[in-house]
Amino acid sequence: MSAENSTLSAPVEPVGTADDAKIAAVRPEGSENLPATDVVEDAPVPTESVDFAEEDAALAASDAGIDLGEETAEESESAVAADDMSGKSREELVSLFARLMEEKPVQSLRRDAEAVKIAFYKLHRAAVEAARRAFEESGAEGEFVPEADALELRLKDLFKEYRRRRDEFNATLEAEKEQNLRTKLAIIEELKELTGSDETLDTTFVRFRELQQRWKDTGLVPQEKVKDLWENYNLQVDNFYGIIKINKELRDLDWKKNLELKTSLCEQAESLILDPSVVEAFHKLQKLHEEWRETGPVAPEFKEELWRRFQAASSRINKAHQEYFESLKQEQVRNLELKTELCEKTEELAARAFASRKEWNRASERLLEIQKVWKTIGFAPKKDNNRIYERFRNACDKFFEAKRAFYSTVKSEMDNNLQLKIEICEAAESVRNSEEWKKTTDELIALQARWKTIGAVSRRHSDEVWKRFRAACDAFFERKAKHFASQDGEQEENLRRKNELLEQMAAADVREGGYELIKEYQRRWSEIGFVPIRHKEEIQKRYKAAVDAMFGVLRGSERDRSMSRFKEKLSGMKASGDRRLRSERERLYNKVRQLEQDIALLENNIGFFSKSKNAEAMIASVRDKIEKARAEMRDTIEKVRMIDSEE
């Protein structure tokens, strides 16, 4: 069986994540304590895997020496659908195959043997891979060698016995065919003698019927002898009818019966032309030909016409069957070419040395797409199918081995980063109770800056070490905030000044002042010191809303100016002729289509991010991009409408 439909998946790798909270970046004495920028460590992007389990199972079985060989005609004719093997353990599969060998004829076992082989080696290969990973993770020296598997040995013994019985059956069948050939040749000789016999009509005709029955009762003969044998037999039957002077009425009755049977066979053959399954129709036609040969002669005036009719239907079915397999062969050759191209692309990826996790992630996504394309391509020619899959599998394995080695180095680096961050935590904890406000503030700011320069740590330690550092910083700054909260008069004055500034911002003419005016208000706000802590959150929200409103007004006015400029541009285009208008409309229309695709991709990415821990910042960034894209798409659509109104 060919290796198709299985899984090439990436190895498990260490993953670095973001310290997904915010470090409290502290300002000098007399300024407000605001959060610093997020520190997001570069993490691998999660990807799907493509299922190649059946290909791997078929390849593993072939490597283990389990090969069923070519299917014989007898196996094809007696084949039935295999039992469902899903959900069965390896022990159950071995026991089932042993039982089937005792209960079913060997020539009808092929489908079951194929199904058991694939199901067993899916499970077997998964067990070997799990043992390999455990060996590698244990750090043991030397090369991994799987332990001997008693169940696999038992299955190999069963398949060996199955092949022995199958070979014995085929040998016996061939011997029977040779004996049948000798028997039928003897019958033909007896028919020859019968035509020259001096016996009475009744005796001769009885012997003729006996010879015909013996011919029908004799089984199959070697396929290459069938045509000549039947032609010789039919010749002697015709000679008998032509030479022996039997009762005309009896002969005519026999011819009439044969005419009805052969007419029916013609009709059945003609109906097969419409059969949707070309292969099934071909096999049914072979049985009709056997029945035709076994049916006696018809009256001479019908013989040629009837045969031409039967042969015409047979020719159409045979031609369709031949064309089907020719097209299948060509398709398989093309599939081999396509799979060879994918092997070359995978080998190119496997040969490259990527230097960062981002590069490895992009390469992994590329390989995943290649694997998905591979799954859409059908079988290659049988002699090449396992070979090309093994080449593809080896290239994928080489890629993931290199990726595993890279992440092994990354893991060592992340372990060192963890130790450095633990040292920073210890330094922060040593000053958390200090009352030297200025000195300790500077020390913590320096520790925060140093924290940002250190790379990622592993996912399982990232949150823990970050929370420890944040807790030490927060403990000091909360004490500091309480200390300076006693200076109520100054903070109340700061609150009054900020409220007054918010009123000025609400009344400001942003369209006139532009971005410089907004920056001026932001500068003045930052120069005002602390406010009472009970008002801090509320005043900050009002400030943010005011700034957002000013930016909104400014963006709106810019949009109006942009549309005005576009109208002027349209006037110039219209003066130059409709061709420029159509070209501009086509460009804008294509831009709308591209923006729709970008939005769909971004929305799909949110689904991936939502499965990650602490992905709020990434999701917020993506949603902001989506909103900007939608705004741009609305403006572009409006421009298209403006062009349409001009035409």
**What pLDDT, in 10s, does the model give residues 10-23?**
333 333 333 333 33
Tokens 């909260």 locate to 485
pLDDT band at 647; cut points 50, 70, 90 = low
pLDDT band at 345; cut points 50, 70, 90 = very high
Judge whether residue 338 has pLDDT over 90.
yes
How much is the pLDDT for 197? 62
- Residue 56 C-beta-side C-alpha neighbours within 13 Å: 22
CA 392 from centre of chain = 15
In angstroms, the CA 115 to CA 117 distance is: 5
pLDDT band at 266; cut points 50, 70, 90 = very high
Condensed to tens digits (0 to 9), the pLDDT of residues 112-124 reads 888 888 888 888 8
Average confidence (pLDDT) over 412-425: 85
How many other C-beta atoms are found inside a 10 Å radius of the C-beta of residue 598? Answer: 15
How much is the pLDDT for 9? 39
In angstroms, the CA 367 to CA 59 distance is: 21
| Pair of tokens at residue 85 | 């093997």
6 in helix, strand or coil?
Answer: strand
List residues bridging with 6 in a β-sheet.
Answer: 53
DSSP state of 2: -
CA 421 from centre of chain = 40
How many other C-beta atoms are found inside a 10 Å radius of the C-beta of residue 559? Answer: 14
How many other C-beta atoms are found inside a 10 Å radius of the C-beta of residue 436? Answer: 10
Judge whether residue 464 has pLDDT over 60.
yes
Average confidence (pLDDT) over 500-512: 83
List residues bridging with 8 in a β-sheet.
Answer: 50
How much is the pLDDT for 250? 65
88 in helix, strand or coil?
Answer: coil
How many other C-beta atoms are found inside a 10 Å radius of the C-beta of residue 323? Answer: 11
DSSP state of 52: E
**Cβ-based burial of 390 (10 A; exposed 0-12, middle 13-18, buried ≥19):** middle
How much is the pLDDT for 23? 33
CA 256 from centre of chain = 62
Judge whether residue 415 has pLDDT over 50.
yes
Average confidence (pLDDT) over 528-546: 86
Condensed to tens digits (0 to 9), the pLDDT of residues 224-252 reads 888 888 888 888 887 777 665 555 666 77
Q: Render the burial of 72-89: b for 16+ CB within 10 Å, e for the rest.
A: eebbeebeeebeebeebe
How many other C-beta atoms are found inside a 10 Å radius of the C-beta of residue 403? Answer: 22
In angstroms, the CA 379 to CA 595 distance is: 38
Report how far apart, in Å, the C-alpha atoms of 437 and of each of 79, 301, 332, 483, 494 are.
Answer: 87, 122, 78, 9, 21
How much is the pLDDT for 596? 87
DSSP-H helix ranges across 273-381: 278-294, 300-351, 357-376
How much is the pLDDT for 498? 87
CA-closest candidate to residue 68, choices 134, 11, 2: 2
How much is the pLDDT for 334? 92
Judge whether residue 201 has pLDDT over 70.
no
CA-closest candidate to residue 313, choices 275, 267, 356: 267
> When comparing pLDDT for 7 and 214, which is higher?
214
For the chain, give me the number of helices (H) and strands (E)? 19, 4
Are 349 and 363 in contact by the 8 Å Cβ rule? The answer is yes
Average confidence (pLDDT) over 616-637: 81
pLDDT band at 7; cut points 50, 70, 90 = very low
Average confidence (pLDDT) over 149-173: 86
DSSP state of 82: P
pLDDT band at 560; cut points 50, 70, 90 = low
DSSP state of 26: P
Judge whether residue 396 has pLDDT over 90.
yes
| Pair of tokens at residue 500 | 């007054």
Query: Residue 270 is inside which H or E element, if any?
Result: helix 248-272
Query: Residue 111 is inside which H or E element, if any?
Result: helix 110-138
Judge whether residue 496 has pLDDT over 80.
yes
pLDDT band at 29; cut points 50, 70, 90 = very low
Average confidence (pLDDT) over 462-491: 82
| Minimum mean pLDDT range among 7-16, 95-104, 303-312 | 7-16
Average confidence (pLDDT) over 82-87: 74
Judge whether residue 454 has pLDDT over 70.
yes
How much is the pLDDT for 255? 83
Most confident of 61-75, 128-142, 611-625: 128-142
In angstroms, the CA 187 to CA 427 distance is: 107
DSSP state of 433: T
In angstroms, the CA 508 to CA 99 distance is: 90
Q: How many residues does the chain have?
A: 647
How much is the pLDDT for 482? 78
In angstroms, the CA 306 to CA 311 distance is: 9
How much is the pLDDT for 27? 31
Q: Is 585 left (phi over 0), alpha (psi -120 to 50) or beta?
A: alpha
In angstroms, the CA 105 to CA 471 distance is: 75
In angstroms, the CA 504 to CA 550 distance is: 12
- Angle of CA points 498, 500, 505, to nearest 5°: 90
CA-closest candidate to residue 211, choices 179, 235, 233, 242: 233
How much is the pLDDT for 568? 64
Q: What is the mean pLDDT of the chain?
A: 79
* Residue at 173: amino acid letter: L
Judge whether residue 557 has pLDDT over 90.
no
CA 290 from centre of chain = 46
CA-closest candidate to residue 32, choices 525, 538, 548: 525
How much is the pLDDT for 605? 76
CA-closest candidate to residue 303, choices 344, 346, 263: 263
Tokens 């005043």 locate to 539
pLDDT band at 1; cut points 50, 70, 90 = very low
In angstroms, the CA 251 to CA 420 distance is: 108
How much is the pLDDT for 202? 59
381 in helix, strand or coil?
Answer: coil
Domain ranges of the chain: 531-646
CA-closest candidate to residue 24, choices 355, 411, 470, 614: 470
pLDDT above 70 covers a percentage of the chain that reads 82
39 in helix, strand or coil?
Answer: strand
Give the β-pairing of 34-35 and 24-25.
antiparallel
How much is the pLDDT for 614? 62
Tokens 């990434």 locate to 618
Judge whether residue 453 has pLDDT over 60.
yes
